[in-house]
Structure 1
Amino acid sequence: MSKGNMSFSQKVLSSQDVSELIESGWKKADLHVHTCCSHDVPAWGPVHPKVLYERALSKGMNYVTFTDHDTINAFDLLGSNKDSLVTGVELSITDIQNVGHSIHINVFELDREQFNTIASISSKRQNIFELIDFLKDDDLLYMYNHPFWFAAGEVPNLSVIPEIAKNFPLIEYNLQELKQKNQFAMALAHRLDKGMAITTDSHTGSIGAAYTIAEGDDFRSYFKNICEGNAFLVTDFSLWKHLSRELSVWVELAFNTDKHVGSDFFTDVEKVNRAMRILGSEVFSDHPLFNKLTMKSIQKLSLSGLPVLVYTLSMQPMIHDIKNVFLTY
């Protein structure tokens, strides 16, 4: 089962398709999950690291990791010496000179000292190649997250993405992204002979709705097998269904979060931040029935798929631009 024998599209399977492999000892992990320690996750019990850790184990995850934005505080809350737990972080770096837009990188099996170093490189020196050199020198495991995601307001430098991707052993298939973007990520991994892992990138506690299976008696050997293409991408959810459900649950989190605990909450989208400030106002906190009815109405809209459809249509110009880059690459 090498990368040359099977396309990545053939490796996206349902849980039923891989039941025999799991029974024979192949390992499962969702390599991109956020807890309440991420700045864009409302503070609520179901997304606490302790709750998510137990949920992951109940879903049969053999390795459990949390990749919060630019912090490893989840492991301080949980304790890093638990069985099957792997330290992780989603690192953000905006290297204007070498890239031109923001890149997110998941790093695994790091300690506090290593985190402090890479956080400094990404936030102060902002040099992607210096960061990658450090990751290699310290023998850390890392992955290029959603290569065709861009922060709100950014003008992406699409032509540089294939060159940047050459420096990564693993590229992500992200269940939060549009199908077309994941298809481009698959094509990128195939052309560069890189491994690919599927993740939920869940901000609402949906850990394990997608996972990557591979052999490996420890996390490092498991990760190595994924990088070598000896793995399968598993999900029982369509991207459309996952995004709609994620949005619906996120609405519930937003309406039920402790407004004081969640005062540091912010996203990359100012309209969402403004909405959260409104939800935290006295209009909602002092009128629980109005709060509940509003939440149910927005959830119903979320589950209808309409917001996902609008988002999909809004992304079509970007999809066209990405396609043009690939035609010339």
Structure 2
Amino acid sequence: MITLFQRPDISKQKIISSERTAKLLENGWHRADLHVHTCCSYDVPPARSMHPENLFNKGKSRGLDFITFTDHDTVKAYDLMGWNRNDLTTGVELSINDQENVGHTVHINVFEFDKQQYKEFNQLARKENNIYSLIDYFKSNDLPYMYNHPFWFQLGDRPNILAVPELAKNFPVIEYNMQDLKQKNLFSMVLAQRYGKGMVVTTDSHTGSIGKVHTIAKGDDFREYFTNISKGRSYMVIDEPIWKHLTGEMSAWIELVFSMEKDIREEMGFTTGVGKIDRIVDLLDKYGLNHHHRFNSAAMNAMQLVSRSGLPVFLYMLSKQPQVSRIGKMVNV
């Protein structure tokens, strides 16, 4: 049997740089970043720059043809912006913990649904916790959907790695996620190749980096665009390595935390999901350090200096290597 580690050439098949996209875009290809979070997500710092309206304008200015927001288990962005807005495709990142069929939490992006459909499939996900029932709903209602970061596992979960390849068979599109390790994205690419699935690259940005990477495909509307991706008629546009993307994301996150505005935080809520970091953020908010400009600026600059050194990202990537080795040993193609 051939293990995933023995297929290093896979990354070269569908990834191109933005320099190579000009002719394709002139010939009717379009681009989108299909995994973006706004301040409506619980783990996004509640800054005005992260409001859906501001991110929508930013995405348009960066040349995205289709814009969608995929907040965690919420569609508040569309309540704010409107459900039938031109050039805006509905989307959500749905989480489901199916212990019987999978054994860990799975994230799915779903698109082009209406308000009633969201209510139905969200209720189905919460009530049954059965991922295959959910997929059946998407298929019967002809909703585009994709498998997010297959080899990313939620903190506290006990990952069932062997369930991932079987689950991947049931998705038309698999994600290459710039927030995850390159090795794990290569594993995802192998699954996509083996099972004939499409792939998209996404920022999964929580800091406003919408469109920094994107996927290009032909399509006069979102449905046609997504269908072409699912059939492999697309390219992933990436100009920088993952470690650099993560470093930039972390630095931007620090700046957003220090610029949080109290009224938006009270409206949206915010948590990182990590207790110690949440307590630090609470202190910043409680004592209004954003009003103590000298201290605020000095603290932010110090934290960004550490972030830009690349050390936090290096330590993060190092901490995930045992998991990468486990995946490499357990998943075969």
Report the TM range for the smaller structure's normalisation: over 0.9
Out of 127, 148, 152, the position equivalent to 2:151 is: 148
For the Cα contact (< 8 Å) 1:30–1:211, is it kept in 2? yes
For the Cα contact (< 8 Å) 2:30–2:65, is it kept in 1? yes
Show the counterpart of 2:59: 56
Show the counterpart of 1:269: 274
**Cα distance in 1 between the residues matched to 2:195 and 2:31:** 25
For the Cα contact (< 8 Å) 1:152–1:269, is it kept in 2? no
* SS of residue matched to 1:103: strand
Change in Cα spacing, 1:178 to 1:7, as seen in structure 2 (3 Å) is closer
- The Cα of 1:289 is off from its aligned counterpart by 1.8
| Paired residue total | 323
Out of 175, 180, 186, the position equivalent to 1:183 is: 186
Report the RMSD for the aligned CA atoms in angstroms.
1.5
**Cα distance in 2 between the residues matched to 1:165 and 1:269:** 29
Show the counterpart of 1:315: 320
- The Cα of 1:260 is off from its aligned counterpart by 4.1
TM-score by length of 2: 0.93
**Cα distance in 2 between the residues matched to 1:306 and 1:170:** 33
- The Cα of 1:130 is off from its aligned counterpart by 0.9
* SS of residue matched to 2:264: coil
Out of 103, 114, 117, the position equivalent to 1:114 is: 117
**Cα distance in 2 between the residues matched to 1:109 and 1:204:** 24
For the Cα contact (< 8 Å) 1:43–1:262, is it kept in 2? yes
* SS of residue matched to 1:261: helix
* SS of residue matched to 2:22: helix
Matching of residue 236 in structure 1 with residue 239 in structure 2: yes
- The Cα of 1:278 is off from its aligned counterpart by 2.4
Change in Cα spacing, 1:27 to 1:272, as seen in structure 2 (3 Å) is same
**Cα distance in 2 between the residues matched to 1:74 and 1:199:** 19
Show the counterpart of 1:3: none
For the Cα contact (< 8 Å) 2:83–2:114, is it kept in 1? no
Q: What runs of 5+ residues in structure 1 fail to find an aligned partner?
A: 1-5
- The Cα of 1:283 is off from its aligned counterpart by 6.8
Identical amino acids, percent of aligned pairs: 51
Show the counterpart of 2:195: 192
Show the counterpart of 2:284: 279
Out of 78, 81, 84, the position equivalent to 1:78 is: 81
- The Cα of 1:285 is off from its aligned counterpart by 4.9
For the Cα contact (< 8 Å) 2:92–2:110, is it kept in 1? yes
For the Cα contact (< 8 Å) 1:95–1:101, is it kept in 2? yes
Q: Tell me the alpha carbon deviations over residues 240-289 of structure 1, each in whole angstroms, 9 at most, x when there is no partner.
A: 11100011011111111113422421133333322222222317356332
Show the counterpart of 2:4: none
**Cα distance in 2 between the residues matched to 1:167 and 1:271:** 38
**Cα distance in 2 between the residues matched to 1:25 and 1:7:** 27
Q: Tell me the alpha carbon deviations over residues 79-128 of structure 1, each in whole angstroms, 9 at most, x when there is no partner.
A: 23332210000001111111111100000001111111111122232111
- The Cα of 1:7 is off from its aligned counterpart by 4.9
Partner amino acid for 2:23? E
Show the counterpart of 1:224: 227
* SS of residue matched to 1:27: strand
Show the counterpart of 1:88: 91
TM-score by length of 1: 0.95
Show the counterpart of 1:65: 68
- The Cα of 1:23 is off from its aligned counterpart by 1.3
Of stretches 277-286 and 61-70 in structure 1, the one that deviates more from structure 2 is 277-286
Partner amino acid for 2:117? Q
**Cα distance in 1 between the residues matched to 2:258 and 2:58:** 22
Q: Tell me the alpha carbon deviations over residues 149-171 of structure 1, each in whole angstroms, 9 at most, x when there is no partner.
A: 11112110101001111110000
Show the counterpart of 1:174: 177
Show the counterpart of 1:39: 42
**Cα distance in 2 between the residues matched to 1:246 and 1:71:** 22
Q: For CA contacts below 8 A with separation 6 or more, give which structure has more relative contact order.
A: 2
**Cα distance in 2 between the residues matched to 1:212 and 1:184:** 19
